[in-house]
Chain A
Amino acid sequence: MSEYEHHIEIKGLSTWFGKKHILKDITCTFKDNSVTAIMGPSGCGKSTLLRTINRLNDLVPSFRHEGVVLFRGTDIYGTGSSVYDLRKHIGMVFQKPNPFPMSVHDNITYGPKLHGTKDEDELEKIVENSLRKAALWDEVKDELQHPAPNLSGGQQQRLCIARALSVDPPVLLMDEPVSALDPISAAKIEELIVELKKDYTIILVTHNVQQAFRVSDQAAFLYLGELVEFDETKRILEAPADARTEAFITGRIG
């Protein structure tokens, strides 16, 4: 394995869906064990950038890319790199809670079982650890066999976080994870994100400047597929270097 400084590095990345040019020559490094927020107005390519990192865009037949995305110093699109292995190491949490149609317990064991963990005791340990990390254990420990879709929206989203943590990925991608939730559940998840950055590298797509301010250390501002700014969140929000960033922060574009 090659030398690397941070888990995720992006060099000169451009992407297309068919003829539509989405991301334009993006170069950045996501710092380990911190939260990086990707901000920007709708349609600026935030989600595309996130989904390029775990190759979920491969599902779209017309997707095409140039440049390199490095995970631990290796090009994830390069020959010989396994997409299944990559996704095991890069977890993802989606905008809407999407628990599998199974019990709470089976939602967590799904990932580890895929990657070959068969030992029952070990699986039980993973269930408890993952749910504890997602701050959900106390609420569901007596209901592990209940169907996951019966949980509340906020609980479902924390279950989805626990599910992503079940295969112990060093990197966690989050695509507007609280935008479909009520304010109280959203606050809980924000707290959780801050807690999780001790152990994980988190990349968070958000539409919400306040949220970026509350939870993130670095921030990237994307506008029409261009990376306009990438710096410490505080610096960007207090003294935006670019007029477009300022317009977004002050709510004039978005």
Chain B
Amino acid sequence: MTAKLDSESSLQRLYGRIGLRDAAKSRRHLSDYLFRIILGILVVIIVLPFFLILIQVTGVGFSQVFGTGPGQGLEFLSTFPGAGLMGGIRNAFVGTVELIILASIVGIPLSVCGAAYIIEYTRPGRIREIIEFTSDVLAGIPSIVLGAFGFAFLVDFLHLGMGIVAGSLTLAFMMIPTILRTTEEALRAVPMSLREASLALGATKWSTTWSVTLRAAFPGVITGVLLAVGRVMGETAPLIFTAGNSLIVPTELTGPGSWVASMPYTIWAYISDPREYLQVKAHGTALALMMMVLAVDLIANLISRKVTRRIV
């Protein structure tokens, strides 16, 4: 026993003298350390653009949205643009809200029902794969192409003309793949035995899907809706050819009276204008838009958490 201990300690001493152990140890420490630094730098690179945008937008646009002077703060959102585009962005603010609401009314039920049909009513196989592949491709289509499609199909072929209907339908098209896929995943995650429990009580497939399966999948569905609405809110490209633009809010559903402004479009139009005060307004609009997206995010989170608390 002692002999063994002795030999062990002498071996240790030998290694110690050569410095083998320490060298190996410190080299490992060093690489561990370096790796951590590299990851840290990468994270900084990842989050940097966000903070740069925030600094730029708030730096220029803060007083426009939060200031108390004439035409600033709430007045910025609540007055229409006047001569030379002086004044506020009420047209864009109301326009975006209306576009998003209309797009959601069309897009959310379509995609949730579509997902429910795919998961609950079709068997796994070729057809389901084709639908899923198509919606994945649809999710990856550049928004300007969707805008062109909206123009060619809705505005031109269906004779809807530019305006709030064509604009919001194009946005709805953009929402569908995201909501469809997240709802599908959420439905897939609902345990089979929950459906069986409902069916075993004599429920029809429809009431099982509606009151049990979709309910259990609700937090996942909300996540998808949130992602889609947040994304669509900031889209300019699909609206360029489909929504038109306006200095007031739409008064009709068709024709030139239905043309509608939106926040992203306004940012794009103002930022391309050489006039100094329009640059400031563009930044203010961008800041307001970011806050709207944040608000949608927070509200959806709140709903989701409230519902989740009730059901999980």
Contacts and interface: CB of A to CB of B under 8 A. Distances in A.
Interface in A109-152: 110-111, 114-115, 147, 149
Contacts of A95: 193
Contacts of B123: 61
Interface string B93-136: 00000000000000000000000000000010000000000000
A212 interface: no
B311 A102 contact: yes
B212 A100 contact: yes
A115 B200 CA distance: 13
Interface stretch (A20-28, A82-90, A195-203): A82-90
Nearest to B310: A147
Nearest to B312: A149
B204 A84 contact: yes
B201 A163 contact: yes
Nearest to A83: B202
A53 B190 CA distance: 25
A101 interface: yes
Contact of B200 (A56, A102, A147): A56
A95 B215 CA distance: 22
B311 A94 contact: no
Interface in A62-92: 84-88, 91-92
Contacts of A184: none
A114 B207 contact: yes
B196 A101 contact: no
Contacts of A94: 193, 196-197
B263 to A, nearest CB: 37
A17 to B, nearest CB: 15
Contacts of A61: 123
B216 interface: yes
A101 B312 contact: yes
Nearest to A96: B193
Contacts of B201: 87-88, 91, 110-111, 114, 163-164, 166-167
Given A98-B191, A149-B311, A56 B199 contact: yes
Nearest to B192: A59
Contacts of A87: 199-202
A166 B197 CA distance: 13
Interface string B213-255: 0011010000000000000000000000000000000000000
Interface string B31-63: 000000000000000000000000000000000
Interface residues on A, range: 20 to 34
A59 B191 CA distance: 15
A160 B200 CA distance: 11
A248 to B, nearest CB: 27
A208 interface: no
Contacts of B309: 147
Interface residues of B, number: 23
A92 B200 contact: yes
B196 A88 contact: no
Given A98-B193, A111-B201, A147 B207 contact: no
A111 B203 CA distance: 8
Given A100-B197, A101-B216, A160-B197, A111 B202 contact: yes
B198 interface: yes
Nearest to A88: B202
Contacts of B311: 101-102, 147, 149
Interface string B284-312: 00000000000000000000000001111
A54 interface: yes
B124 to A, nearest CB: 11
Contacts of B194: 98, 100-101
B2 interface: no
Nearest to B219: A101
A84 to B, nearest CB: 5
A240 B198 CA distance: 38
Interface in A224-254: none
Q: Give the one of A86, A94, A96 with max B CB within 10 A.
A: A94
Nearest to A145: B310
Given A94-B197, A98-B193, A149-B311, A114 B216 contact: no
A211 interface: no
Given A87-B199, A102-B215, 6 more contacts: A92-B196, A98-B197, A114-B207, A147-B310, A147-B312, A164-B201
Interface of B: 123, 191, 193-194, 196-204, 207, 211-212, 215-216, 218, 309-312
5 contacts: A84-B202, A87-B200, A92-B197, A98-B194, A167-B201
Shortest Cβ-Cβ A-B pairs, 9 listed: A101-B311, A88-B202, A92-B200, A87-B202, A111-B201, A98-B193, A84-B202, A101-B216, A98-B197
